[in-house]
Structure 1
Amino acid sequence: MPLFIIPSLSSYSQLTGYFFFPLFSMETLTLFFFFLLVSFLFFLLRTNYRTRWRLHHLPPGNFGLPFLGETLQLISAYKTENPEPFIDDRVSKYGTVFTTHVFGEPTVFSADLETNQFILQNEGRIFESSYPSSISNLLGKHSLLLTKGGFHKRMHSFTMSFANSSIIRDHLLVDIDRLVRLNLESWADRVLLMEEAKKITFELMVKQLMSFDPCKWTEKLMREYMLLIEGFFAIPLPFFSITYRKAIQARREVVEALNLVIAERRRKGQSEERKNDMLAALLDGDGGAGGFSDEEIVDFLLSMLVAGYETTSTIMSLAVKFLTETPQALAQLKEEHDEIRSRKSEGKALDWKDYKSMPFTQCVINETMRVANIISGVFRRTTADVSIKGYTIPKGWKVFASFRAVHLNHNCFKDARSFNPWRWEKTNSGGTELLNMFTPFGGGPRRCPGSELARVQLCVFLHHLLTQFSWVAAEEDKLVFFPTTRTKHRYPIIVRRRESCTSTPS
């Protein structure tokens, strides 16, 4: 290593005293100057944030490291089975509305029920939907999650009209019942429940959207979808992230497959009987002025598949997990469904009256969604300066309304972090107190339009599982919440068919 000579600091007055000091390498100098630059930028950022706090009277909080903010702390927390301390610690220090810096932007977190309701109800006025670019790039600009203004209202209304109670009762329920039983036919011995649930919900969505029964095409489409979803929370730079690169390629494959289906439907036009699915309604143009473009239809179908596939399958799996760990609830649920089955001839499909005869099932579904929080919350962006709780959030800032923080708040729900489906029994008698604090499907103009459809699918699945099988957990499995809510080992169970029941679809 090169050397240079400097006067000895210990005997600087003696010009004859020298010692040898190694010259810094270029790599060391680069790191040194990089450290100085980062420190300087950090100083500027901290000064800027303090100025903002003083000028705008922002909620209190901590911006963390330069650029990274508190993103690493957030991700680390959600990779465990107990992510609550990330919000709990900050709420205890700053209050239920606090400022942080995550995913590259200063963000105001709300763990407050009233603030969350204010954010949801003012969608389109002083807040607008805003998600990380990794999600928006993969879903497409016309997806229901990302569209705004008049186009979003039109698509949201269209979706609600297609997934309302009468449509589900008269057209969709029979396919839901048939496909659930068809999938359960192959179950034996050890089953990876989360994988099987995903298969069921994906096939249901493909059938309802495009009238495809399970086949090689749907299997390939599902594989590509799984790759696409894995990219939602990856670094949105293909060069740096293999996961994101694979997700982008998967989106291309999915878009190509959907475009072929749309082209074939347009080509056949009136030459064959109209299918009773969502694609047919989209091709008809929703009955409004002008139809939808192929790009709009593709993005819409893609986002609907994601919405119906990932969330519903996770709730299915976690409901079984929580029931397995709560034998009293499992026993009561079995009684409810055995009673329904006893009224029907063997192999007879469920009907709407049966669905409406499952009050405790609805309690189990509510409690599963409350405890698991498949949708932890929603990101929004302010379109004007907003006053909340005596603070001011500047225009253009991100806000995050945390549903999870409210659902697991002991002041809102007694013994909030325990699975207790009986807490919901009073809502079946007209009680609304808990429901007013319960937002698993969001709220306001962006409330999930498929909430009733998801409940029907969950009820049908639980009915056939309970009446056809008994099961035990094959091994202990833990929940993790990043990048999505799931069990660490896909929740393996050992199933045994109940001899008194048959699963042959009628």
Structure 2
Amino acid sequence: MEFCVTVLFCSCVILSALLVLLLLLRSYRLGRSHLPPGTYGLPLIGETLQLISAYKSDNPEPFVDSRVSRYGPIFTTHIFGEPTVFSADPDLNRFIMSNEGKLFDCSYPGSISNLLGKHSLLLMKGSLHKRMHSLTMSFANSTIIREHLLLDIDRLIRLNLNSWTDRVLLMEEAKKITFELTMKQLMSFDPCEWTERLKNEYVLLIEGFFSVPIPLFSTTYRRAIMARTRVAEELSWVVRQRRTSCEAGERKNDMLGALLAGGDHFSDEQIVDFLLALLVAGYETTSTIMTLAVKFLTDTPLALAQIKEEHDQIRANKNDPEALVEWNDYKSMKFTQCVVNETLRMANIIGGIFRRTMTDISIKGYTIPKGWKVFASFRAVHLNPDHYKDARTFDPWRWQNNSEAAGSGNVYTPFGGGPRLCPGYELARVVLSVFLHRLVTRFSWVPAEEDKLVFFPTTRTQKRYPIIVRERNLSKSHVRTG
């Protein structure tokens, strides 16, 4: 017994000594490499727990604020198992985005990679990514939206709003709208029982993105993997059916049609991964922006009154109050675009991007070693009072006359930038604008109960933002009789 205790004690001493030696060696190497200043927190877990704890609170900013105050806008930390250079510097963020594939490589947690698939646009690299990114943008540019998508956007939004009575969970309704729009854009499907079943599987899939990517220990992740399999099977069936139709000379003007008709000869697996990831992007991000725009407007009565006035005027200029929203209507929504800009700045649905250095990089007086993670934080820049006055206050008027928008392009990056600029950025703005038009001209509303923002694993409202809606009784004076 005494011998076992002695051996155990000696083993602990040796392990402790090795750990201290490793920490000293790491500190020596880091000190010689001129890394940005910072702290690495606890062994192995670093500062991950502090980061997660902050983002689960009502106000996650102190995690970044305290470190920026102490070390400056570029600092070193240790999160999610790796030493990481954190950037709240807009110039460095732009440098990181602009040098995608040259000095930096995309790098995401394993849970996201496994759930999206190796052929998703998020994980593609090199020439293949460039081709697929261009293809995606070609189906979401202003010309396509104006001539083909705007009609479906308006129609599907109106169809969903027709079912609203009394208490509405706004985030759930917004997700339903964006999923149906994305299904229409990608595969020409109108809402039906099959699309509803597929949406339910997507809910399970998305829940797994920020879970521990080990099925044995995480029920959420295991459930997400199973949902991913079912979604892939359903999409594979669609791809096979459409491939047969395409070979017979039938083609639809949608994303799937372009993939099947192109000269790249993509496999079914590649197409399924690609479509699956685009459905995730369209479903989750735009719906959250729609919800938060309504919440910010509700909390800012002057802004809500002004946007109602703008849209009531658009409606008054039409002979038919139920007339479709046209491209000229969208372009006339000047204050609405201020609201869109400010919502994107405040919400920060894409809080930042992880990248990995492909070589040693010297910048701003520091050296970031090859193979290190870097995190370019858009949120930290958007909420910095050095860049925006009263940065943490919702103020759409700041965008009037392009006063702040005319500043450095490095400061405002809600859709990222460089080769991985979000290809659906214009589509997201149009969807939000049309949604706000239909919402404010048809309904008045009040929050059903107090709700607040949460920031982990993504920005959203804690209770899905329940509201009580009432039909507006607009007088006939609001509608031009011609």
Using a 3 Å threshold, how does the CA distance of structure 1 residues 42 and 222 change in structure 2: closer, same or farther?
farther
Matched, 1:353 2:328: yes
Using a 3 Å threshold, how does the CA distance of structure 1 residues 231 and 36 change in structure 2: closer, same or farther?
farther
Letter matched to residue 360 of structure 2: D
Equivalent residue number for residue 462 of structure 2 = 488
Partner of residue 397 from structure 1, selected from 372, 390, 396: 372
Equivalent residue number for residue 182 of structure 1 = 159
Matched, 1:413 2:388: yes
The correspondence of residues 436-455 of structure 1 with structure 2, limited to 5 A, is 436-455=410-429
The correspondence of residues 147-226 of structure 1 with structure 2, limited to 5 A, is 147-226=124-203
| Equivalent-residue separation in structure 2 for 1:42 and 1:93 (angstroms) | 27
TM-score normalised by length of structure 2? 0.94
Letter matched to residue 378 of structure 1: I
Structure 1 residue 63 displacement after superposition: 1.1
Structure 1 residue 36 displacement after superposition: 5.5
Partner of residue 254 from structure 1, selected from 202, 217, 231: 231
Partner of residue 134 from structure 1, selected from 111, 114, 121: 111
Matched, 1:424 2:424: no
Using a 3 Å threshold, how does the CA distance of structure 1 residues 426 and 435 change in structure 2: closer, same or farther?
farther
Alignment check: 8 A CA contact 1:68 1:102 kept: yes
| Equivalent-residue separation in structure 1 for 2:203 and 2:192 (angstroms) | 17
The correspondence of residues 16-95 of structure 1 with structure 2, limited to 5 A, is 39-40=16-17, 42-95=19-72
Letter matched to residue 414 of structure 1: K
Alignment check: 8 A CA contact 1:124 1:149 kept: yes
Structure 1 residue 274 displacement after superposition: 2.0
Give the percent of matched residue pairs that are identical in Structure 1 and Structure 2. 68
Structure 1 residue 39 displacement after superposition: 3.9
| Equivalent-residue separation in structure 2 for 1:171 and 1:243 (angstroms) | 38
Equivalent residue number for residue 86 of structure 2 = 109
Structure 1 residue 290 displacement after superposition: 2.7
Structure 1 residue 152 displacement after superposition: 0.5
Equivalent residue number for residue 447 of structure 2 = 473
| Equivalent-residue separation in structure 2 for 1:103 and 1:160 (angstroms) | 32
Alignment check: 8 A CA contact 1:190 1:474 kept: yes
Using a 3 Å threshold, how does the CA distance of structure 1 residues 368 and 68 change in structure 2: closer, same or farther?
same
Alignment check: 8 A CA contact 2:398 2:404 kept: no
| Equivalent-residue separation in structure 2 for 1:33 and 1:449 (angstroms) | 59
Equivalent residue number for residue 273 of structure 2 = 299
Using a 3 Å threshold, how does the CA distance of structure 1 residues 145 and 336 change in structure 2: closer, same or farther?
same
Write the deviation string for residues 339-396 of structure 1: whole angstroms up to 9, x where unpaired.
Answer: 1111121321111111101111111011111111111100011001001211100111
Equivalent residue number for residue 352 of structure 2 = 377
Alignment check: 8 A CA contact 1:144 1:152 kept: yes
Matched, 1:100 2:77: yes
Using a 3 Å threshold, how does the CA distance of structure 1 residues 364 and 41 change in structure 2: closer, same or farther?
farther
Structure 1 residue 44 displacement after superposition: 3.6
Letter matched to residue 51 of structure 1: Y
Structure 1 residue 87 displacement after superposition: 0.7
Alignment check: 8 A CA contact 1:80 1:479 kept: no
Using a 3 Å threshold, how does the CA distance of structure 1 residues 34 and 389 change in structure 2: closer, same or farther?
farther
| Equivalent-residue separation in structure 1 for 2:256 and 2:337 (angstroms) | 30
Alignment partner of 1:437: what SS?
coil
| Equivalent-residue separation in structure 1 for 2:13 and 2:204 (angstroms) | 40
Alignment check: 8 A CA contact 1:197 1:316 kept: yes
Equivalent residue number for residue 15 of structure 1 = none
Equivalent residue number for residue 387 of structure 1 = 362
Equivalent residue number for residue 310 of structure 2 = 336
Equivalent residue number for residue 18 of structure 1 = none
Write the deviation string for residues 215-248 of structure 1: whole angstroms up to 9, x where unpaired.
Answer: 1111111111111111111111110111111111
| Equivalent-residue separation in structure 1 for 2:429 and 2:463 (angstroms) | 25
| Equivalent-residue separation in structure 1 for 2:416 and 2:357 (angstroms) | 18
Structure index of larger Rg = 1
Equivalent residue number for residue 8 of structure 1 = none
| Equivalent-residue separation in structure 2 for 1:442 and 1:411 (angstroms) | 20
Letter matched to residue 23 of structure 2: R
| Equivalent-residue separation in structure 1 for 2:358 and 2:368 (angstroms) | 10
Write the deviation string for residues 272-304 of structure 1: whole angstroms up to 9, x where unpaired.
Answer: 74211111011112xxx4322111111111111
Task: State the superposition RMSD in angstroms.
Answer: 2.1
Alignment check: 8 A CA contact 1:120 1:444 kept: yes
Letter matched to residue 453 of structure 2: L
Matched, 1:245 2:254: no
Alignment check: 8 A CA contact 2:41 2:47 kept: yes
Alignment partner of 2:76: what SS?
strand
Alignment check: 8 A CA contact 1:467 1:501 kept: no
Alignment partner of 2:374: what SS?
strand
Alignment check: 8 A CA contact 1:109 1:402 kept: yes
Alignment check: 8 A CA contact 1:468 1:501 kept: no
How many correspondences in the alignment?
475
Matched, 1:276 2:250: no
TM-score normalised by length of structure 1? 0.90
Equivalent residue number for residue 16 of structure 1 = none
Q: Tell me, which stretches of 5 or more residues in structure 2 are unaligned?
A: 477-482
